[in-house]
Amino acid sequence: MKGLFVKDLKLMMLQKNFLLLILAIVIGMMIFTDDVIFPLGFLSFIGSLFTVSTVSYDDFDNGNAFLFTLPITRNQYVSEKYFLGLLLECMAWVLATVLGIITTVLKDTLPITDLVQSSLMILPIMIVVQAIMLPFQLKFGGDKGRIAMIGAFGGLAVITLVIVKGAEAIFNIDLVSLLDNLPTVSMGVLIAIAIIIALLMLLVSMKISLSIMNKKEF
């Protein structure tokens, strides 16, 4: 497993310039615009993107066949990707939140509690994105995986829209304003529940990925 981490770390180092560029854009956006939340979310998703990119690198030139002759199992490979994803996401998220807090304090634009609340809301979304991306990437590989992923996120957006609009039309409930008007305490509970649900989804996603990888032929 340690060998896999070293490999992924080396592969990710290939994109260090890209990472620095994103970091520069994020800091620039935080300094020069009033919107801190968008760059905060943007940076948080980098963890997932980098993990997914290592799957493409492994797949390059049929490299997976050789990879699985090394002393690792397919289950270890999948577990490592999920663990790496979570680790990178958390690191990116912490970094983004710290940057966000510093900018907010310096510019005095938002109350810190509001910023932390928004930042916490990103956490479950980030986990769900990883839960969706990894199985698609493992199943379809580089190019087809990207197309399948776009389809999946499109589908997710449509489902969310249908739920929100459906609730409004059938039950006459405005979910968006309901969320906006929740008191802070219940917002905290809501975020905690969302994180738990997201982690459960990640577990299901991991089970699916394990089954995908164990069926794969190289």
Closer residue to other proteins, CB minimum distance, 53 or 119: 53
What are 83's two structure tokens? Answer: 């663990």
Taking the C-alpha atoms of residue 81 and residue 138, their distance in angstroms, rounded to an integer, is 10
**Cβ at position 70, least distance to other proteins in Å:** 6
Taking the C-alpha atoms of residue 199 and residue 201, their distance in angstroms, rounded to an integer, is 5
**Cβ at position 128, least distance to other proteins in Å:** 29
**Cβ at position 14, least distance to other proteins in Å:** 6
**Cβ at position 43, least distance to other proteins in Å:** 24
**Cβ at position 144, least distance to other proteins in Å:** 19
Which stretches of the chain bind other proteins, using CB under 8 A? 2-3, 5-7, 10-11, 14, 57-58, 60-66, 68-73, 76, 215, 217-218
The SS3 of residue 183 is coil
Closer residue to other proteins, CB minimum distance, 68 or 153: 68
Q: How far apart are the first and last CA of the chain?
A: 20
Q: Do residues 51 and 137 lie in contact, with contact meaning Cβ atoms separated by under 8 Å?
A: no
Closer residue to other proteins, CB minimum distance, 5 or 38: 5
Taking the C-alpha atoms of residue 80 and residue 78, their distance in angstroms, rounded to an integer, is 5
Taking the C-alpha atoms of residue 177 and residue 128, their distance in angstroms, rounded to an integer, is 23
Q: Do residues 34 and 109 lie in contact, with contact meaning Cβ atoms separated by under 8 Å?
A: yes
Closer residue to other proteins, CB minimum distance, 62 or 181: 62
Taking the C-alpha atoms of residue 21 and residue 15, their distance in angstroms, rounded to an integer, is 10
Closer residue to other proteins, CB minimum distance, 108 or 217: 217
